[in-house]
C-alpha cells in the first residue's frame, strides 16, 4: 500500500512540490471562476476536526470538499471523544477506517503527526501551535498572482515572530527561495530550532531575524498576524507593550522606501473595535487597533481578502494532490 500524502508541515515538501501545489491552486481558481465543474473526488468522505475556532479554514475545507464532490463531516471540539475519552491514536484508527482524509486543527503538532501515523489516510494540518501550512499555499499563490513570479521577492513579517504563521512563513519562504526578514522583539523571535529548519531547507533565500523595524527597507510585502494566538495564556498587556512598536502603520510602511509595498494578513485581524475582543481591549488599554492600523488595513483590504479567498482554491489543490490516486 502506498504511503498516504499528508500535509502536516512545509519541510516535508520540496520547492518543486510546493510550486506544484501553488500552480494547481491557480488552476482550481480558474475552474471555479469559469464555473467549470470539477467533482474529481466524487463519493469520497472527509472529516474536519476543529479543536480551535475557525472561519476561513473550516469554510475552505467544506466548500473545497463539496466542489470536489466529496462528503464533508465537521467534528467539533466538544462533539467527539478525542482527548477526553479517547487517545489521538485510537481516534485516528477509527476515523481512518471510515474517512478517506482528515483535516485537523488543534494545539500540538505531535497530535497531527499521530493522526497521520495511525489513520492510514491523508491528514491535512489546518493549524497547530507550531505550523499553519495550508495558509502558506494561499499566501504564496497570492504573491504569485500579484507579482507574476516569486523570483527575487523580499518579504518581511512584522510582529509575533514565534507563532505558527511566522514559523510557516519563514520556512516556506526559505524552501521557495524567497528572501525573508522576521522582525520581532528579542523575546518574540522564532526559536533556534525553527530558524535551523529554515536554514537547512533554504534554496537560496536571504534569511534575516532582527528586532530592528528599519529592516523592512526594500520589502515587497509586509505580513503580520495577531499578537496573541489561539490557546496562548500570557498577559495581554505585556504582549501589547512588547509589540506596539511593531504595529503595521503608515510610518512603518513608509520605512520600506517603496511606494508599492503590499500588505498581507492571514486574518482575523484586530484593526478596529468592531469585535467583542477588540472592544474589550479598547476599554481596558485604550487601543483601537493592534497589529495593523485600520487605515492600512482598509487600503490593502482587497489583497487581504483575495488572500482569504485563496484559502479555498489552495486547500482544494492540497486535498486533490493527496487524494487524486484514489
Ligand atoms: N487564517 C485562518 O486560518 O483563519 P481561520 O482561523 O478563520 O481559519
Ligand atoms: N497565529 C494565529 C493564526 C490564526 C489564523 C493563531 O494561531 O491564533
**Domain of residue 286, residue span:** 136-309
What pLDDT, in 10s, does the model give residues 96-142? 999 999 999 999 999 999 999 999 999 999 999 999 999 999 999 99
For residues 116 and 145, membership in a common domain is answered with no
For residues 109 and 143, membership in a common domain is answered with no
Does the structure show a pLDDT above 80 at 1?
no
Helix (H) or strand (E) holding 124: strand 123-125
> 38 C-alpha to center of ligand 2: Å?
31
164 lines ligand 2 (CB under 6 A): yes
For residues 124 and 208, membership in a common domain is answered with no
For residues 148 and 204, membership in a common domain is answered with yes
For residues 106 and 174, membership in a common domain is answered with no
Q: Per-residue confidence at 2, pLDDT binned at 50, 70, 90? A: confident
Question: Was 134 annotated as part of a binding site?
Answer: yes
Residue whose grid cell is 469554510: 59
Q: Do 198 and 207 contact (CB within 8 A), yes or no? A: yes
For residues 152 and 298, membership in a common domain is answered with yes
Mutate to test the pocket of ligand 1, among 61, 125, 126, 127 (most ligand atoms within 8 A of CB): 127
Percent of the chain with pLDDT over 70: 100
Give the model's pLDDT for residue 258.
98
Does the structure show a pLDDT above 70 at 38?
yes
Is pTM beyond 0.95? Reply is: yes
- If 0-12 CB within 10 Å is exposed, 13-18 middle and 19+ buried, where does residue 151 land? exposed
Which sequence positions are flagged as catalytic? 105, 132, 135, 225, 266, 311
For residues 39 and 24, membership in a common domain is answered with yes
Does residue 214 lie in a domain region?
A: yes
> 64 C-alpha to center of ligand 1: Å?
15
Q: Which strands, in side-by-side order, build the sheet including 179-183? A: 207-210, 179-183, 154-158, 221-224, 262-265
For residues 120 and 230, membership in a common domain is answered with no
For residues 117 and 214, membership in a common domain is answered with no
Question: 3-state DSSP call for residue 224?
Answer: strand
For the chain, give the mean pLDDT. Answer: 97
For residues 222 and 83, membership in a common domain is answered with no
Amino acid at each position: 500500500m502506498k504511503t498516504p500524502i499528508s500535509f502536516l508541515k512545509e519541510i516535508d515538501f520540496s520547492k518543486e512540490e510546493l510550486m506544484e501545489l501553488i500552480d494547481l491552486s491557480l488552476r482550481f481558481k480558474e475552474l471555479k471562476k469559469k464555473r467549470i465543474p470539477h467533482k474529481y473526488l466524487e463519493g469520497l468522505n472527509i472529516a474536519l476536526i476543529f479543536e480551535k475556532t475557525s472561519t476561513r479554514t473550516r469554510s475552505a475545507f467544506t466548500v473545497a470538499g463539496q466542489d470536489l464532490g466529496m462528503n464533508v463531516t465537521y467534528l467539533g471540539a466538544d462533539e467527539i471523544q478525542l482527548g477526553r475519552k479517547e487517545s489521538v491514536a485510537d481516534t485516528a484508527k477509527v476515523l481512518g477506517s471510515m474517512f478517506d482524509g482528515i483535516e485537523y486543527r488543534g494545539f500540538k503538532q505531535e497530535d497531527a503527526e499521530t493522526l497521520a501515523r495511525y489513520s492510514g489516510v491523508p491528514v491535512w494540518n489546518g493549524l497547530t501551535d507550531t505550523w499553519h501550512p495550508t495558509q502558506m499555499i494561499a499566501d504564496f499563490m497570492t504573491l504569485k498572482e500579484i507579482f507574476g513570479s516569486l523570483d527575487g521577492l523580499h518579504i518581511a513579517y512584522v510582529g509575533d515572530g514565534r507563532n505558527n504563521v511566522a514559523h510557516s512563513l519563514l520556512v516556506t519562504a526559505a524552501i521557495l527561495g524567497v528572501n525573508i526578514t522576521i522582525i520581532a522583539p528579542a523575546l518574540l523571535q522564532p526559536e533556534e530550532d525553527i530558524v535551523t529548519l529554515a536554514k537547512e531547507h533554504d534554496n537560496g533565500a536571504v534569511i534575516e531575524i532582527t528586532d530592528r523595524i528599519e529592516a523592512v527597507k526594500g520589502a515587497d510585502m509586509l505580513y503580520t498576524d495577531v499578537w496573541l494566538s489561539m490557546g496562548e495564556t500570557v498577559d495581554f498587556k505585556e504582549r501589547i507593550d512588547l509589540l506596539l512598536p511593531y504595529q503595521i502603520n503608515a510610518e512603518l510602511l513608509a520605512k520600506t522606501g517603496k511606494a508599492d509595498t503590499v500588505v498581507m494578513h492571514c486574518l482575523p485581524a484586530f484593526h478596529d473595535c468592531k469585535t467583542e475582543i477588540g472592544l474589550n481591549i479598547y476599554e481596558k488599554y485604550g487601543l483601537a487597533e493592534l497589529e495593523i492600523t485600520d487605515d492600512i488595513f482598509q487600503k490593502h483590504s482587497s489583497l487581504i481578502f483575495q488572500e482569504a479567498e485563496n484559502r479555498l482554491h489552495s486547500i482544494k489543490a492540497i486535498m486533490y494532490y493527496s487524494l487524486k490516486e484514489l
